[in-house]
Amino acid sequence: MKRTFMCMGLIMMACSTVHAEELNISGRLLARPCTVDTDTVNKTVLLGQGRASEMQAAGEGTEWVDFDLLLTTCPAGTNGATVTFSGTADDDDASAFKNTADAKGIALRLASRDHATTYQNNSTLTQTVDSSAHTATFPLSARMFTPKGQPGAGKFAAAVNVSFTYQ
């Protein structure tokens, strides 16, 4: 009988061998997003009327129209926000957005307020969040312009989608 117990003890030890493996778990905690201001949601920028006769040379355009995109109620700890612009590029100038109405040879130019930086499809602009007001303002300008010159008369419309990310 003594032999039987020893054999069972050896079997039990062999069955209870355990291998330890390392398990790493990671994640990311994000702050809630800022609120897109109601004037920014579905924003319409009215560019007015341009005269084809005043845009005969390539690069000429209408007067710039300034506008802002605004984020509000940004949570504490949100330091910055980035807007990404997307839309259909113009056939004649990939740095502009396509006119989807019937005027020919005309496109949308989107730029920084000082007109030094042009924004095109997939361009981004980052702004600091004002820590006391909890807002971020994106100052922009837009105008109709002709990439090649001698545009045709007609209606003008262009769509630019914006998406925001937060830091």
- Looking at the domain assignment, is residue 57 inside a domain? yes
The angle formed by the CA atoms of residues 47, 148 and 124, to the nearest 5 degrees, is: 55
CA distances from 79 to 38, 41, 124, 130, 139 (A): 22, 22, 16, 8, 18
Residue 8 pLDDT = 41
- Of 72 and 20, more confident: 72
- Per-residue model confidence as pLDDT tens digits over 77-112: 899 999 999 999 999 999 999 999 999 999 999 999
Q: Which pLDDT tens digit goes with each residue over 63-78?
A: 999 999 999 999 998 9
User: Which residues, 6+ apart, have CB-to-CB distance to 110 below 8 Å?
Assistant: 85, 96, 97, 118, 119, 120, 140, 141, 142, 160
Domain contains 7: no
Residue 77 counted as domain residue: yes
The reported pLDDT for the residue numbered 28 is 62
φ and ψ at 5, to 5 degrees? -65, -40
What pLDDT shows up at residue 89? 98
| Integer Cα distance of 157 and 36 in angstroms | 23
Q: Which pLDDT score is estimated for 5?
A: 40
Mean pLDDT of 141-152: 97
Picking from 13-17, 67-71, 130-134, which range would have the lowest pLDDT averaged per residue? Answer: 13-17
State percent of the chain over pLDDT 70. 84
- Asked whether residue 38 is assigned to any structural domain, the reply reads yes
Range of the domain at 104: 31-166
Taking only the tens place, the pLDDT of each residue in 34-64 is 999 999 998 999 999 999 999 999 999 999 9
| Structural domain contains residue 3 | no
In a domain, 13, yes or no: no
pLDDT of res. 104: 96
Q: Does residue 24 lie in a domain region?
A: no
| DSSP code at position 113 | T
Q: Is the pLDDT confidence value at 13 over 60?
A: no
pLDDT above 50 (res 4): no
Q: How many domains does the chain have?
A: 1
Residue 35 in any domain: the answer is yes
Domain of 127, CATH number, reads 2.60.40.1090
